[in-house]
Every structure is written in structure tokens, then in C-alpha cells.
Amino acid sequence: MTRSRKRRLLRRTVVSAPIAAVLFATTGLPAAPDTTIETSADPSTVRVLTGAAALTGGMFQGLIADFEAESGYDVTLTVAGQDIMDRARRSEGDIVLIHLGFTPLNDFVTDGRGMYPATVLSNSVALLIPPGDPARVRKLDDPFEAFEAIAETESPFIVNNLGETLYITNTLYNAAGRPDPGDWFIDLGQSGPPAVIAASQRGAYTLWGLHPFLNLRVERDLNLEAVIYNDSIMQRIMATTVVRRPPGQVNEEGALALQDFLTDPATQAEIRRFRLGSLEDHPDIDEPIFWPAGNQNDN
């Protein structure tokens, strides 16, 4: 994912250190109290906190490598969980990439801890279909039409009670005219992997984020296939916020340079061109899985 082009970048300290894109897995431990980090930020390094959803197939890591090569900054890339904004409050990152609707992000910005978010990209939720595809939706492009077909054929559909997937399910259900749930519309009270595993075991349809589904599919056998992940109802916008802290505690200049890079039209085009189909683990995913969202900013 290399290219030769000029872009506007903020002034920064040029360093000769090698590229360092360091990926840390979240520990899942409880968040520590909100305390101030006294150590000074390294002006040659940009620390990125991100949710895992942007990392599918190495897309975001590739953009980071491009930024390092063009800007002279080093970047540390840390994957965080639900405590991501708590970590930002502790100045563990200079910039955060997270879903725009994440409530702690709203609190972080309204509390004055982060700059107004800049939208970067959308990742995807997918309709997962069982072997045989009894509702015949594989070749459809419209999730609303697909859900209507599932309802009309009374093919089993298992509700995934994660917030975003439940919201999409309810939208599709209402658009279909609130059909009689009968025995086909199944709510086991499960969320995430348990709901998807249940759908695989029962030969049912369900919804889930494309990123976690692909990861789970590598870890275990799933009798499900991801389809219809490129409609707007299936997309979730991710945005960056630059952390505001007292001078010296974060590299604000570097963070703004990275945000400028990510929202640049040339980078947005790279996001649109990315495909998973050439990767060994996902040869069946041959359509875009990330969508540019920089046009949502005040350009």
C-alpha cells in the first residue's frame, strides 16, 4: 500500500529511528483510576489507541506504515477494549480511533478532553447465512430485501443482542412490516460469539460485525458465510479524536498530522481500494469492507 504523493503535514521533529508500529493486545483488566501521567510525550512518536474493528486484514496498519514513511514520525498502535477512553484520559495515547456513536467518546469530547471528532472510515456488519441458504439471499445486494425473504420463507433467524446488530435487526424487522415472528425469529438472549455459534449449529441466519466474524471463523469451524455487508445500514462510522492534555503530556502536533493524513483524499481512496480477497484466510470476501468517511467532515 505504497504511493508517491505530496500532502500537507504539520511541522514535526525529524528522527532517524526505524519504523515502529507496535501492536498491543488489550488485557481486559479493570481500568485504573483517572490519573495524570507526569512523563513527557515523545515529540517523535504518535501513540494511537484504536478499537480492533479497523484492523481487519491489516488495512489500518498499512496506512500507519505509509504515514510513518512520509512524515518521519514513529507510531505505536495499541488495541484497546471498552476502557479505551479511560486510557485516553490517562494520556496513554495522543489520538483515538473509535466508533463515532460510542458514548464514552461523546463524554470525552464534551468534557473537553478530546478535540471534535473527524470521521475517517466505516467498517461493516454482515448478514451471515447458513449452508443451503434457504431464503435464497446470497446474490441479493439489499439487506431489507434479504430480511423480507427470510421472513417470507420463515427461515430461522437468530437475534444477536449486541447493540449495533440488534438495532439493525429491529430496523430490518420494522421495514419488513413487523412480520409474525412465529418459530423462525429466535431470540436466545445471546450476544456476540454465542449467538453466532448458535446460528451455525442451528442452520440459521444472523447478523454480526464482519471483523469479529472473520476472526472467529479462523479460530473455529462455522457453517456460516458473510454476505451483504456493503449497504449503508450495515456500516458503522469510525472517527478520530485528538487528546487534549496539558502541554508536554501528549504529542498533539503529531496526532493532528496523523488525523490530517487519514482524512486526506488520497488516503481515503486507499481505504476504498482495500480488499480481503487476496488473503489466504478470506478468499470469499471480494468486495470492499471499509468505506471512506472523510466526506462527512467540514471540508
Name 98's bridge partners.
239
- Residue partners of 221: CB distance under 8 A and separation at least 6: none
- At 107-148, the pLDDT tens digits run 999 999 999 999 999 999 999 999 999 999 999 999 999 999
Q: If you search the block for the grid coordinates 488516503, which residue do you land on? A: 267
Measured between alpha carbons, how far is 46 from 258 in angstroms, rounded to an integer?
8
| Domain residue spans of the chain | 21-123+236-296, 124-233
The cell for 37 is 501521567
Model pLDDT, residue 279: 61
Please report which residue ranges of the chain form alpha helices under DSSP H: 59-71, 84-89, 103-110, 143-153, 163-175, 193-202, 210-219, 252-263, 265-273
Question: C-alpha grid cell for residue 73?
Answer: 514520525
Distances (CA, A) of 104 to 50, 68, 83, 162, 260: 14, 29, 9, 17, 23
Cβ density class 201-224: b for 16+ within 10 Å, e for less:
eeebbbbbbbbbbbebbeeeebeb
Half-sphere exposure of 38 (CA within 13 A, CB side): 0
Distance (Å, rounded) from C-alpha 72 to C-alpha 15?
Answer: 6
Check residue 286 and give its pLDDT.
81
Q: Quick one: 21-123+236-296 is in which CATH superfamily? A: Periplasmic binding protein-like II (3.40.190.10)
Range of lowest pLDDT (22-26, 174-178, 221-225, 233-237): 22-26
- Classify residue 83 by its DSSP letter: T
Which backbone phi and psi does 227 adopt, to 5 degrees?
-140, 170
Q: Look at the pTM and tell me if it is higher than 0.85.
A: no
Question: Model confidence over 236-278: pLDDT tens digits?
Answer: 999 999 999 876 789 999 999 999 999 999 999 999 999 886 5
Contacts for 128 with CB less than 8 Å, ≥ 6 apart: 196, 199, 205, 206, 207, 208, 213, 224, 225, 226, 227
Same fold across 21-123+236-296 and 124-233: yes
* CATH number among 3.40.190.10, 3.30.70.890, 3.40.50.10470, 3.40.50.20, domain 124-233: 3.40.190.10
